[in-house]
Amino acid sequence: MKRPVRLEPGQKLVLTANRLLDGRTVWWCADGTWNLHIGCAALLDADEAEALLSRASEQAQRDGVVGVYDTAVQAVVPPEPVTVREKIRAHGPTVHPEFAVETEQ
């Protein structure tokens, strides 16, 4: 059973997963594709996210992703994850700037 989502004011949800081929973090876009950049992620309300999460989980293998789930972000451009874990997944390791994920497209 999925946990209830409690969003603070100014927050939305995005779907995220890992690419099966190389393990890279990907974000679900409004066009139904998965992208490496969180800036492309579709911002969703809780009800939208629930329906899309179910569909994305069913199609995960076909789309070449694993571990699909939703996570809260600040509804800014680009979306900014709320938790430290998701910030690291979106922007790269905290050890050296050389390993950061590019935020520009």
Round to whole Å and give the CA distance between 60 and 24: 14
Q: Quick one: average pLDDT of 80-89?
A: 94
Round to whole Å and give the CA distance between 17 and 20: 9
User: How many percent of the chain have pLDDT more than 70?
Assistant: 90
* 96 or 83, which is more confident: 83
Query: Does the pLDDT at position 71 exceed 90?
Result: yes
Cβ proximity of 81 and 71 under 8 Å: yes
User: How many percent of the chain have pLDDT more than 90?
Assistant: 78
Confidence of residue 48 (pLDDT cuts 50, 70, 90): very high
Round to whole Å and give the CA distance between 59 and 64: 9
